[in-house]
Amino acid sequence: MRAAGRRAPALLALVSVALIAADTLTPLEPLRAFGSAVYGGLEDAASAGVRWASGERRLEELERENTRLRADLLAARRTVPSPAQADGYRVAPAHVIGFGRDGTITVDTGSDSGVDRDMTVFDGDGLVGRILRSGPGTATVQLATASGASIGARLEGSREVGLVTGVPERGLLRLSLLNPSAGVKPGDRVVTLGSRDMRPYVPDVPIGTVATVEPAPDALTRTALVRPFARFTALDLVTVVLGPQADGDAVDASAGRGATTARTAEGDADEDTDGDADADADAPKGGPKSGSKSGSKKAKAA
């Protein structure tokens, strides 16, 4: 005991250094998963208690509907059709339950709701960030202003392409346009460029407006400071984009999330020509060619 008392501080400091070294070499994901399982639940409970106490419980239905409408609005904003042919997004509403100091926040939806890493997060004002990792009931979001974030972006008017990075100490973003002679002026709106397969960023989410154009020290890129639409210090209800809402698989994944989603997806299935959707659409008709169980049952009943 006496020896342990003398050695303990040095030993613990050594363990800390070993942890730092290990996490630098190979990320200690199991430890983070453990942390998000234990502390995510506690944060969720604390936040839910605060919300219940302030009587916001009955707003949840409205919040859910609001989220869905917001996703529809976002999809409707898209002027250029994307290769994914999605006419809507599957989304999950989430509350912000924790603010970190590494340019990250915690939201109260996780892999149980289908949230996975590299999914877009936005709120009523504009882009918030992307999912960094997800635990069972919570997920960590990297904000657009984090020092490590970089987002493909374009000017909404001229469609010039660039890259948005965080300037964390000032709460601003820096836009670097690839075309050094591109015209950019304060007040221009900046939206996301969109990524392959919609991950991590879906296209045309508003990011912010150009605040000042920086004088170019070199002629390789054109840089400007962007004031984000989202108020990162006062985030509350956000929306996570789970994926495009197009085929039958998507409906299965989001089954039980409200009748509207299913109805929209049925409409899609009628128009679609791929195999799964056709099978779904044919099954209720009970065609003679289908050898499915439901078809034979219907035949017996008749």
Residue 278, CA distances (Å) to 263, 266, 281 in order: 16, 11, 5
Closest distance to another protein from the beta carbon of 7 (Å): 8
**Cβ atoms of 250 and 90 closer than 8 Å:** yes
Closest distance to another protein from the beta carbon of 281 (Å): 42
Stretch binding another protein (CB under 8 A), from 55-63, 65-73, 130-138, 191-199: 130-138
Alpha carbon distance 220, 279 (integer Å):
53
**Closest to 183 in 3D by CA, of 218, 216, 138, 134:** 216
- Residue 220 interacts with another protein (CB under 8 A): yes or no: no
- Taking CB under 8 A as the criterion, the residue among 82, 147, 260, 294 binding another protein is 147
**Closest to 116 in 3D by CA, of 19, 8, 241:** 241
- Residue 6 interacts with another protein (CB under 8 A): yes or no: yes
- Residue 289 interacts with another protein (CB under 8 A): yes or no: no
Alpha carbon distance 46, 51 (integer Å):
9
The dihedral built from the CA positions of residue 13, 17, 18 and 20, taken in this order, carries a sign that is positive
Stretch binding another protein (CB under 8 A), from 52-60, 142-150, 183-191, 192-200: 142-150
Residues 45-74 that bind another protein (CB under 8 A): 46-47, 50
- Residue 196 interacts with another protein (CB under 8 A): yes or no: no
| Closest to another protein by CB, 145 or 245 | 145
Closest distance to another protein from the beta carbon of 61 (Å): 24
Bond into 244 cis (ω within 30)? no
Alpha carbon distance 143, 1 (integer Å):
47
Residue 161, CA distances (Å) to 151, 192, 208 in order: 11, 9, 15
- Taking CB under 8 A as the criterion, the residue among 69, 76, 77, 100 binding another protein is 100
- Collect contacts of 229-233 with beta carbons under 8 A, ≥24 apart: 229/125, 229/126, 229/127, 230/122, 230/123, 230/125, 230/126, 230/127, 230/128, 230/144, 231/125, 232/128, 232/143, 232/144, 232/145, 232/171, 233/99, 233/171
**Closest to 105 in 3D by CA, of 89, 123, 78, 87:** 123
| Closest to another protein by CB, 18 or 279 | 18
| Closest to another protein by CB, 24 or 273 | 24
Stretch binding another protein (CB under 8 A), from 60-68, 116-124, 143-151, 289-297: 143-151
What's the maximum distance between 2 C-alpha atoms anywhere in the chain? 86
- Residue 34 interacts with another protein (CB under 8 A): yes or no: yes
Reported residue count of the chain is 302
Closest distance to another protein from the beta carbon of 208 (Å): 20
| Closest to another protein by CB, 106 or 254 | 106
Binding mask 156-195 for another protein (x = CB under 8 A): ------------xx--------------------------
Query: Which residue shows structure tokens 């989220």?
Result: 67
Closest distance to another protein from the beta carbon of 129 (Å): 11
What are the residues binding another protein (CB under 8 A)? Answer: 1-2, 4-9, 12-13, 15-20, 22-24, 28, 31-32, 34-36, 39-40, 42-43, 46-47, 50, 97-106, 132, 135, 138, 140-142, 146-148, 168-169, 233-234
